[in-house]
């Protein structure tokens, strides 16, 4: 770990843990019940929906950082309310995000029933294998499902889950990665097709969504956390991570935030905390694990962490979160939803480790 005395003043272990408690406590007490789609329709959230499920890896992070059983109990309560089940759509990565927390709870408690829904969901996919670009065709999906596949192999010893994930992962990466920018398209609507029919930013640039690329950054961290040290393709994940992070830091705003649109930041100039949290998670994780050069990347993390602290309201509400979308959109100070808190808590856990 980096010695605390060598860290910039913005980093303080006690403050990071205090912010984790504030954000986690507020979000647990004020879970998002619904949100309004752009069409005007209301989406009412179920416990297994990704918008809620992304919060709970953050709850588990808060438990690890504080060793306070109230956070472990909150995750157990949520899992029980879901009957430890996955979401209703087969093969749909968003409906598998909840597996990550179920498996983290299994790691803590070793109760076999905690792995059953994950095994059933992933076995269904392996019994009828499809290319990654078909099952994981949008960049968000790389955060939602693959870490759970790696975790399931780590916790059961059954290699088939990791091997299936690895095969699907790299096919999806090949499909969504843009070698000209080293960034990720969200989905096929944004991939240049040679006919000029792809969606573009108003300034003519390719569309690279901040949170979308943040999902991939954080996904790599969470997958690698559960790969064997001698896994044959481990270095490929780290090489992808370093390439992506080198591109990402060049697009950070002077105020420490990344915007919703990475190549047209003025289209939505307001701060965006969910993308910034996910990138900060990657920066702190990379520095903590010796994957990113500390001297090169610490300034970006310093600015990002200082920016994120301004997004936490006095009562603990995490603000400036871009609401659910598949592309860049506006954010406001009062915008809050469960996954925004979850992303911040993942970043804060790594910052706390940096300061320990």
Choose between 6 and 33: higher pLDDT: 33
Handedness of CA 202, 206, 212, 218 (dihedral sign): negative
Distance CA 46, CA 48 (A): 5
- What pLDDT score was predicted for residue 241? 99
pLDDT for 63-76, tens place per residue? 999 999 999 999 99
The tokens describing 265, both together, are: 């930041």
Residue 8 main-chain phi, psi, to 5 deg = -60, 155
Which residue(s) pair with 209 in the sheet? Answer: 261
Predicted confidence (pLDDT) at residue 195 exceeds the cutoff of 60: yes
- 3-class state of residue 169 by DSSP: helix
- What pLDDT score was predicted for residue 2? 46
With tokens 């060049």, the residue in question is 250
- 8-state DSSP, 138: S
- What pLDDT score was predicted for residue 5? 53
pLDDT for 207-220, tens place per residue? 999 999 999 999 99
Which of 199, 294, 306, 297 lies closest to 248, judged by CA? 297
Beta carbons of 350 and 288 less than 8 angstroms apart: yes
Which of 93, 99, 180, 87 lies closest to 133, judged by CA? 93
- What pLDDT score was predicted for residue 337? 98
Which residue(s) pair with 5 in the sheet? Answer: none
pLDDT for 273-332, tens place per residue? 999 999 999 999 999 999 999 999 999 999 999 999 999 999 999 999 999 999 999 999
Q: How confident is the model at residue 53 (pLDDT cuts 50, 70, 90)?
A: very high
Percent of the chain residues past pLDDT 70, beyond the cut: 99
Cα 192 from chain centroid? 26
Cα 213 from chain centroid? 9
Question: Mean per-residue pLDDT for 47-56?
Answer: 98
pLDDT for 92-125, tens place per residue? 999 999 999 999 999 999 999 999 999 999 999 9
Q: What structural domains and CATH numbers belong to the chain?
A: 4-355 (1.50.10.10)
Q: Could you confirm whether 12 is annotated as catalytic?
A: no
Which pTM does this prediction carry?
Answer: 0.97
- What pLDDT score was predicted for residue 1? 45
Percent of the chain residues past pLDDT 90, beyond the cut: 97
Write the CB contacts of 93 (distance below 8 Å, at least 6 apart in sequence): 135, 136, 140, 141, 142, 144, 145
With tokens 């990138």, the residue in question is 279
Beta carbons of 303 and 252 less than 8 angstroms apart: yes
The per-residue pLDDT of the chain, averaged, comes to 97
The tokens describing 135, both together, are: 């099952």
Distance CA 288, CA 225 (A): 12
Predicted confidence (pLDDT) at residue 270 exceeds the cutoff of 80: yes
Which residue(s) pair with 177 in the sheet? Answer: 184
Half-sphere exposure of 282 (CA within 13 A, CB side): 29
pLDDT for 236-267, tens place per residue? 999 999 999 999 999 999 999 999 999 999 99
- 3-class state of residue 36 by DSSP: strand
Please identify which of the residues 94, 140, 187, 338 carries the catalytic annotation: 140
């Amino acid at each position: 770990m980096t010695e605390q005395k060598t860290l910039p003043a913005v980093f303080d272990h006690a403050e990071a843990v205090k912010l984790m408690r504030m954000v986690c406590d507020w979000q647990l007490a004020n879970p998002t019940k619904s949100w309004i789609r752009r069409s005007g329709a209301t989406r009412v959230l179920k416990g297994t929906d990704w918008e809620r499920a992304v919060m709970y890896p953050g709850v588990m992070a808060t438990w690890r950082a504080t060793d306070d059983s109230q956070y472990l109990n909150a995750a157990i309560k949520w899992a029980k309310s879901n009957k430890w089940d996955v979401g209703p759509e087969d093969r749909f990565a968003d409906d598998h995000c909840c597996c990550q927390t179920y498996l983290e709870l299994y790691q803590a408690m070793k109760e076999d029933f905690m792995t059953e829904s994950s095994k059933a969901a992933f076995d269904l996919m392996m019994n009828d294998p499809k290319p990654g670009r078909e099952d994981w065709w949008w960049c968000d999906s790389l955060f939602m499902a693959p870490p759970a596949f790696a975790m399931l192999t780590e916790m059961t010893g059954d290699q088939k889950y990791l091997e299936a994930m690895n095969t699907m992962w790299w096919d999806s990466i090949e499909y969504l990665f843009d070698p000209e920018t080293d960034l990720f398209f969200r989905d096929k609507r944004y991939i240049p097709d040679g006919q000029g029919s792809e969606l573009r930013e108003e300034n003519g640039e390719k569309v690279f969504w901040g949170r979308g690329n943040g999902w991939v950054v954080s996904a790599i961290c969470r997958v690698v956390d559960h790969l064997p040290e001698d896994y044959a393709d481990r270095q490929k994940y780290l090489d992808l991570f370093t390439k992506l992070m080198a591109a990402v830091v060049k697009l950070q705003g002077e105020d420490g935030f990344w915007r919703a649109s990475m190549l047209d930041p003025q289209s939505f100039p307001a701060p965006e905390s969910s993308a910034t949290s996910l990138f900060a998670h990657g920066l702190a994780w990379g520095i903590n694990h010796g994957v990113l050069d500390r001297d090169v990347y610490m300034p970006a993390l310093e600015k990002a962490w200082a920016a994120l602290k301004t997004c936490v309201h006095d009562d603990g509400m995490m603000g400036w979160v871009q609401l659910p979308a598949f592309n860049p959109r506006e954010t406001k100070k009062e915008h809050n939803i469960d996954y925004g808190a979850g992303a911040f808590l993942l970043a804060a856990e790594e910052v706390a480790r940096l300061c320990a």
